[in-house]
């Protein structure tokens, strides 16, 4: 049987890494025994916590696969987030929870759902196929769902995610609140990163209508720790604004314990943040209560007010 490479998106998060491991198990159970769980980038600290907790190895690092190879995509479908020669391989399956950004010239198995995490779909696939979920697989799944939904508090959370976490926590024998917070905290350890790296950990270029912007985000259990770096962060943000000719740079410091974000906003369109959220920027910063999701709570609101 020909080898099948399974991988999530570049710059992988916990969902991409665990989904490749879980999908490899699932495919093996389906009878596809020559599968290999892979990753397209380094393991982040949150994912490292999960792998260490289970005492298991990370998926194999690959940069690309040979033309004509069989692949399965998890947690992504956009060619921009995948291997460079995606148009030259044979995609057997896609399991994903993002918008549809792929076009193919052949039929394939494609399963996407509007849920908070790929692992929630994997959980349903195991159920539908009557496959048992063991403790290791359950831990991988529940870790990713907690990660993507910030402990089920993100507005991306659905009933399916909540149900999955409930059952998977029992199989994994964890208290999701306790385990989840420890895991999320592990991911917020910024000690090894410099200012520029912190600003680029999770930064996206987004145009709010005419307002050319970058919205960067960092999760933390200790907002003050990051705010201590404010002067240095602002200096580098201003440099980036000049270099890239931006109208706005929003840096969200998201408090994973209390589900708020402290925003630092710079650039000539910074006041758009005041208008959008009904807040007053003081010394370039304000608290955005309840805001944790860039996709659901920043992009639409900023676009509407731009």
State yes or no: residue 105 binds its own copies (CB under 8 A). Answer: yes
Closest CA to 264 of 279, 285, 248: 285
Helices in the chain by DSSP H: which ranges? 14-30, 45-54, 118-128, 135-149, 159-172, 176-187, 195-200, 223-227, 230-244, 271-277, 294-297, 299-305
- The only residue of 36, 54, 58, 112 in contact with its own copies, by rule CB under 8 A: 112
* Closer Cβ to its own copies, 61 or 114, answer by number: 114
What contacts 104, CB < 8 A, 6 or more positions away?
Answer: 91
98 binding its own copies? (CB under 8 A): yes
Which residue from 1, 57, 107, 132 is in contact with its own copies, where contact means CB under 8 A?
107
Which of 109, 166, 177, 197 contacts its own copies by CB under 8 A?
Answer: 109
User: By C-beta, is 55 or 130 nearer to its own copies?
Assistant: 130
> Binding to its own copies (CB under 8 A): which residues in 78-97?
97
- Which residue shows structure tokens 């999908």? 23
Positions in 208-247 near its own copies (CB under 8 A): none
Choosing from 102, 138, 266, 276, the residue that interacts with its own copies (CB under 8 A) is 102
Tell me how far, at minimum, the Cβ of 98 lies from its own copies, in Å: 7
104 part of the interface to its own copies, by CB under 8 A? yes
Nearer to its own copies, 102 or 240 (CB): 102
Instruction: Out of 42, 60, 80, 100, point to the residue binding its own copies (CB under 8 A).
Output: 100
Count each helix (H run) and each strand (E run) in the chain, helices first. 12, 11
Site stretch for its own copies (CB under 8 A), options 26-34, 113-121, 142-150, 279-287? 113-121
Nearer to its own copies, 105 or 224 (CB): 105
Give the whole-angstrom CA distance, residue 240 versus residue 255: 24
Among 110, 202, 203, 303, contact with its own copies (rule: CB under 8 A): 110
Closest CA to 240 of 263, 264, 222, 266: 266
Verify binding: residue 29, its own copies, rule CB under 8 A: no
Rounded to 5°, the CA angle 127-131-133 comes to 85
Q: Exposed, middle or buried by CB within 10 Å (0-12, 13-18, 19+), for 283?
A: exposed
The C-alpha atoms of residue 62 and residue 143 are separated, in whole angstroms, by 23
As a whole number of angstroms, the distance between CA 269 and CA 118 comes to 36
Smallest Cα–Cα separation from 219: which of 190, 191, 180, 182?
A: 190
Cβ closest to its own copies, residue 97 vs residue 294: 97
The rounded distance, in Å, linking the Cα atoms of 287 and 301 is: 16
SS3 label, residue 251: strand
Q: Which of 34, 84, 114, 258 binds its own copies (CB under 8 A)?
A: 114
Question: Does position 271 bind its own copies by CB under 8 A?
Answer: no
Instruction: Report, in Å, the least distance between residue 168 CB and its own copies.
Output: 19
By CB under 8 A, residue 30 contacts its own copies: no
Instruction: Report if residue 132 touches its own copies, rule: CB under 8 A.
Output: no
3-state secondary structure 265-279: EECCCCHHHHHHHCC
Judged by beta carbon, residue 73 or residue 276, the one nearer its own copies is: 73
Contacting positions for its own copies (CB under 8 A): 97-115, 128
């Amino acid at each position: 049987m020909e080898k099948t490479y399974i991988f999530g998106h570049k710059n992988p998060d916990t969902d991409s890494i665990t989904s490749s491991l879980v999908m490899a198990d699932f495919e093996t159970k389906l009878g596809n025994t020559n599968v290999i769980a892979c990753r397209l980038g380094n393991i982040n600290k949150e994912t490292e916590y999960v792998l260490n907790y289970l005492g298991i190895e990370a998926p194999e690092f690959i940069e690309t696969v040979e033309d004509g190879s069989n692949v399965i995509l998890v947690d992504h479908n956009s060619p921009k987030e995948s291997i460079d020669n995606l148009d030259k391989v044979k995609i057997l399956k896609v399991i994903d929870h993002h918008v549809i950004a792929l076009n193919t010239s052949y039929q394939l198995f494609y399963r996407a759902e509007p849920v908070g995490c790929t692992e929630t779909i994997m959980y349903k696939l195991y159920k539908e196929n009557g496959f048992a979920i063991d403790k290791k697989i359950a831990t991988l799944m529940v870790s990713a769902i907690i990660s993507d939904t910030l402990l089920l508090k993100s507005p991306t959370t659905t009933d399916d995610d909540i149900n999955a976490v409930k059952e998977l926590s029992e199989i994994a024998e964890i208290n999701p609140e306790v385990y989840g917070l420890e895991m999320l905290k592990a991911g917020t350890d910024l000690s090894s990163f410099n200012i520029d790296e912190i600003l680029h950990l999770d930064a996206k270029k987004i145009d709010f209508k005419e307002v050319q912007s970058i919205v960067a985000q960092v999760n933390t259990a200790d907002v003050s720790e990051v705010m201590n770096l404010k002067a240095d962060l602002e200096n580098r943000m201003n440099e980036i604004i000049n270099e890239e000719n931006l109208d706005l740079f929003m840096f969200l410091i998201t408090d994973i314990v209390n589900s708020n974000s402290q925003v630092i906003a710079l650039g000539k369109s910074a006041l758009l943040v005041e208008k959008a959220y009904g807040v007053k920027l003081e010394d370039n910063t304000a608290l955005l209560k309840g805001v944790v999701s860039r996709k659901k709570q920043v992009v639409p609101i900023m676009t509407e007010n731009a």
